[in-house]
Structure 1
């Protein structure tokens, strides 16, 4: 992104759009995203966990909002019902919405002017289903790669997952500046899975983002490779953000 203007990126664990009042309210998530006004957003827990595992923030609501478009990964969580005779009609019969936004809850939203060059859904090693999403984007004729992730609660599996993500990035046919964003579930600043990112990446100093009512842990992180400069970074702490999820969104302004 040499000589390119700055871009703002953000990461937000939206907790399936369930706020600290235990109510599901997707509109609050969009209101917070409007406040941040980031060019690219990585979401975690963007899909419901049970039933059809459809998007926690309905596609129609995002379309009406008009600010963002989701990157379409073309994947669907398979269920036992899908393998049964007539399984493709089960969703309509049960009135279940299975139109997910991403992969294992990870999704990427981009502003309307940003082009999508390529994308991929990544499977990650773990005991429970986990994944990450990768999008290669074009911003003002400059390519940038973004990975959205939600890592395991186990430190051992987090390190394996980071390694799998870095391996997937290294296998991409084109080299471009890369940004990793998401809920790392890593309480330590410079240890655990984050240490494996050295020396090629550096971590934005955003600050603690969890719990949104009284943030004490920097679980949500924005990690950028050394081709990018972190001009500014922080946690978005508006009253709306404190209600919309148990995590606060983190953001960073980047330049080439």
Structure 2
């Protein structure tokens, strides 16, 4: 099964007008079983959903996991998580506050995608290195708080860090290791690996790559990152 993460730049290309239909087109190209989106909320129209959730479910079989009950708010602090229609929610989803002036957050949910329990954390970290360190530590603490229910964990999103062992990556690598991290930013000339798909155990994901197509280069300032999730458990 393909999983993916995608900073959709609030529905805008690197330079241009609001075009959310391009984002939906890129998701259709990927055909993921699970995808985390960042910057998926309008700055000025917070009561208006950015994507056509009904069409995504009808045409791609992806359903939106609602974190809040506020009208028009599709995700949590601009994070949004879509999963295959038949996925079973075991716990959550819940929103995690990560602080920062932006502000940043994460979505935590426990799912069964058809192959057993899986914990998923979708996040977007801050621009400041020290704040990213604190946010990464908070994510690990959220994992530890649910350690009484051990299960494989998928952590994915825009970490705003590309340097191995620095800030958030230095904290997270202790648990998740350092899997492949192809560049995804900026979309028109990708050379920075800001987006990551991490797993515990690391063998849970393979074939990590950027989704680099003409449409993806026009749709957002990031390319999506995608990976294969082991269908029969890590290492099998």
TM-score normalised to structure 2 length: 0.90
Aligned residue-pair number? 229
Match of 2:133 in 1: 159
Larger Rg: 1
TM-score normalised to structure 1 length: 0.83
- Is the contact between residue 203 and residue 221 of structure 1 (CA under 8 Å) also seen in structure 2? no
Distance of 2:56 and 2:138 partners within structure 1: 31
Shift >4 Å, 4+ stretches: none
- Is the contact between residue 203 and residue 222 of structure 1 (CA under 8 Å) also seen in structure 2? no
Q: Deviations over 1:130-189 (max 9, x none)?
A: 111111110224011111111000000000001111111111242211111111011312
Please say if 1:33 is aligned against 2:33: no
Distance of 1:127 and 1:8 partners within structure 2: 33
Q: CA-atom RMSD, angstroms?
A: 1.7
Q: Which runs of 5+ in 1 are unaligned?
A: 1-6, 77-97
- Is the contact between residue 20 and residue 243 of structure 1 (CA under 8 Å) also seen in structure 2? yes
* Alpha-carbon distance, 1:199 to partner: 2.8
Picking from 42, 45, 52, the partner of 1:51 is 45
- Is the contact between residue 57 and residue 85 of structure 2 (CA under 8 Å) also seen in structure 1? no
Distance of 2:32 and 2:179 partners within structure 1: 15
Moved more, 12-21 or 51-60: 51-60
Distance change in 2, residues 1:35/1:213 (3 Å) = same
Distance change in 2, residues 1:47/1:8 (3 Å) = same
Match of 2:82 in 1: 109
Distance of 2:18 and 2:58 partners within structure 1: 18
Picking from 148, 161, 164, the partner of 2:122 is 148
Distance change in 2, residues 1:75/1:188 (3 Å) = farther
Q: Deviations over 1:89-142 (max 9, x none)?
A: xxxxxxxxx512111100110011211112210011323321111111102240
Distance change in 2, residues 1:240/1:143 (3 Å) = same
Alignment of 1:162-177 (within 5 A): 162-172=136-146, 173-177=148-152
